[in-house]
Amino acid sequence: MTDYIFNIQCFAAGEQVNTTATDTLSAEMKTFYDKTLITLASPYLVHDQFGQKRDIPKNGGKIIEFRKFSSLPKALTPLTEGVTPTGNKLNVSSISATVEQYGDYIEQTDLLELTAVDNTIVEATKQLASQAGLTMDTIVRNEIVGGTNVLYCPKVSGSTETAVTSRSAIDKTSLLRVKDVFKAAAELKAMNAPKIDGYYVGIIHPYVAYDLMQEAGNQWMDVQKYATPENMLKGEIGCLGGVRFVESTEAKIWNEGASNCAVFATMIIGADAYGVTSVNGGGVEHIVKQKGYGNDPLNQRSSIGWKGLKTAKRLVEEYMIRIESGSTFSATAKAN
């Protein structure tokens, strides 16, 4: 996971810790809290970052629409001199998804606030931001790993390869290899899948990345060797075969392989393959309840929480491929 440094010690302001039931947060402070939560949650949004973004519709119900544009056919009929052709129409279809609400909170007592060495609002916000980011990203991940395009890495013993046709047959010898990455990229190219800034993107677990980099050797280009490393993607670790890889411990794992070994999903993705609701524009809200809220006559409890609306939807199945593989770590990795 990419490290992200952000100073939230401004949350430690005394008026935010020692508030009374009649105090309220200003609009500016509420906006600051919301933006800070989103900023701290953003490093966890690895799967989320490559989706087609749509803001939550305000006062528009729970249904959100994503747009899907169909390719135009080749124009092979020669034009007739002086005659205007019939022309064509842009074929736009909408795909609907229902947003759902998620959230959690931490309640703390006035005694904890008075006696704690660390500022508890700061620490709670850090934990909640991590939880919010992981929750939102997992919702997206679970949608896109359900796609219909899948490649299974074969079992390999010495120079012998045994084809694998189901997840249940994968074992720790079914490692992700260089040619599997090239094959997935070739299939996306054959489907004219649009690229993301000139490349396809692979979301890969650190265990699988380790195996792939060991096999790739000099074919693997590390991010430190990029001509413009400042343009690297969130979580990016390197490039291979026209695929830029981002690493995430939240890449999907199933304990459904041979003898219940761990099976890992590596997603190879083109642009506009799926849609997601934005974490901005109503997607995530930071909520601070001061002492005295609810049934609290003695001002003994306050809380810090978050809630958000989220959905994800696969838009073009042909623009993404899931590669399922084992790993040298398959014996010990746990499903997520």
CATH number at residue 132: 3.30.2400
77 inside domain: no
Q: What pLDDT is recorded for position 73?
A: 73
The reply to whether 246 and 120 lie within a common domain is no
Q: For the chain, what is the mean pLDDT? A: 83
Q: What pLDDT is recorded for position 330?
A: 95
The reply to whether 178 and 134 lie within a common domain is no
Q: What pLDDT is recorded for position 125?
A: 82
The reply to whether 181 and 217 lie within a common domain is yes
Q: Domain count of the chain?
A: 2
81 inside domain: no
80 inside domain: no
Q: What pLDDT is recorded for position 27?
A: 59
The reply to whether 67 and 158 lie within a common domain is no
d(CA 144, CA 199): 19
Q: What pLDDT is recorded for position 106?
A: 87
Within 8 A by CB and 6+ apart from 314, the residues are: 143, 144, 146, 147, 273, 274, 320
Provide the token pair at 286.
């930071």
Q: What pLDDT is recorded for position 30?
A: 56
Q: Which domain holds residue 64?
A: 9-72+89-142+276-313
Q: What pLDDT is recorded for position 20?
A: 34
Phi-psi region at 318: left, alpha or beta (left = phi > 0; alpha = psi -120 to 50): alpha
> In the chain, which stretches have pLDDT less than 50?
1-23, 115-118
Pairing of strands 200-204, 243-247: parallel
d(CA 266, CA 141): 11
d(CA 312, CA 310): 7
pTM for this entry: 0.81
105 inside domain: yes
Buried b / exposed e along 59-77 (16+ C-beta atoms within 10 A): eeeeebebebeeeeeeeee
The reply to whether 197 and 221 lie within a common domain is yes
Q: What pLDDT is recorded for position 95?
A: 84
Q: What pLDDT is recorded for position 276?
A: 92
Q: What pLDDT is recorded for position 142?
A: 97
Q: What pLDDT is recorded for position 281?
A: 62
The reply to whether 159 and 256 lie within a common domain is yes
Residue 236 three-state SS: strand
335 inside domain: no
Handedness of CA 203, 207, 212, 213 (dihedral sign): positive
The reply to whether 245 and 167 lie within a common domain is yes
